[in-house]
Amino acid sequence: MMVLNDKQIAKRAAQGMIEPFVDKQVRDVVVESNYEGKLVSTTGKKLTKVVSYGLSSFGYDIRIGTKFRVFSNAHGCPVIDPKNFEPKVLVEIEVEPHEAVIIPPNSYVLGLSLEYFRIPNDIIALCHGKSTLARSGILVNVTPFEPGWVGHAVLEISNMTPLPAKVYAGEGIAQVLFLKGEPPATTYADRQGRYQDQRDIVTSRV
């Protein structure tokens, strides 16, 4: 297998592999508060640092979207069972771009990648957390993007600390590496995988 470099990723992105696609690393953006006090994009000149995203030398740093599901056991669920998952333990939250969602101590949230992926049949993508978040005790878990898979990625973001932690919507959350190989006999699309073409936060399915 071969890992795609920035030129190869950009070429595949132009064919629809990543959408939207940012062809460089972004570390600051222009934002300001609107009349409600929320952060919004603007054409002003004030720059605000963000958790970086966009094309890197041998990967692509994806962003987390604005919709989240935060774990809460307010309903008193006795056990988490992946084969019979209780969706009530996840509370839906939506924030503005560059606003933070709070992850409770020793808990997690689910989020949706801002980017939509169309993985070619000769590519498998591996997703890793960013060091900026990992050094703050925030870990990201995502399964591989298999050949033939399309959709927004659902990311599990864990707060490993005893304190509340922030994750910023619309900013970098994880890095994706793209590996090229011979197309498999059966792709994710061929076997009609459970999470094909997901456009919202989909919980555990068996």
Instruction: Select which of 86, 146, 156, 171 is catalytic.
Output: 156
Helices (H), the chain: 6-14, 131-134
100 CB-contact burial (10 Å; exposed 0-12 / middle 13-18 / buried 19+): middle
Instruction: Record the tokens describing residue 72, joined without a space.
Output: 């809460």
Q: Could you tell me which residues come within 8 angstroms of residue 118 by beta carbon, excluding any fewer than 6 positions away?
A: 16, 17, 19, 150
Phi, psi (degrees; rounded to nearest 5) at 134: -60, -35
- Clarify whether 36 is annotated catalytic: no
Name the DSSP letter for residue 107.
-
Q: How far apart are CA 116 and CA 34, in angstroms?
A: 28
Rg from Cα positions in the chain: 18
3-state percent helix, strand, coil for the chain, nearest multiple of 5: 10, 45, 45
- Residues annotated as part of the active site: 156
